[in-house]
Amino acid sequence: MADAGREMRIYTYPHPVLRQKAGTVEEIDQEIQALVDDMIRTMYAAPGIGLAANQIGKPIRVIVFDVREGNDQRRPRVLINPRIVEEEGEIVYEEACLSVVDFSAEVSRSGRVLVEGVDRHGKPQRIEAEGIAAVCLQHEIDHLDGKLFIDHISSLKRSLYKKRLKKMQKSMG
């Protein structure tokens, strides 16, 4: 049940855990179930449409996501050990990230993806997604590989963001 979790701290750039490549989940035990509940609660509280385990300091291959609009239709999805097996086309989408504070940018990604993994019960999943769902899945799987959406933008935009972030951090003491 999604309400059973607790809210976790979301690590923000440039924390090193965000650059770690996440390890494979070998066994879906009670610890993984509790992590999934915590991730779902944290994602909704943020609020966000997706969250990867390394964003909360756990570098393992688990993502949660819910790309539906509004609060009444919550249907969180869980993918463990997800991988993109097919991709085609292109979409440019204005992305933001719970781990990249106060910044968004247009990112070019595949317009359609086929992702495989297992759900929280170990049942194999094949998700064909396009549009925002495809963007979200690629974004979260990137996290598991130690990549951030800012790695997909120009070095100029990235350096401007880094400068702005340093200024923000200085002003906060």
Question: Could you say which of 87, 106, 128, 140 is catalytic?
Answer: 140
Distance, in Å, from the CA atom of 108 to the CA atom of 90, rounded to the nearest integer, reads 7
Q: What is the dihedral of CA 66, 81, 147, 63, to 10 degrees?
A: 20
DSSP state of 36: H
Name the pLDDT band for 69 (thresholds 50, 70, 90). low
Q: Is 21 helix (H, G, I), strand (E, B) or coil?
A: coil
* pTM across the whole model: 0.93
Query: Tokens 């204005």, residue?
Result: 94
Domains and CATH numbers, the chain: 2-91+111-147 (3.90.45.10)
pLDDT tens-digit map of 74-125: 899 999 999 999 999 999 999 999 999 999 999 999 999 999 999 999 999 9
Q: Retrieve residue 113's tokens.
A: 């993806």
Confirm whether 140 is a catalytic residue. Answer: yes
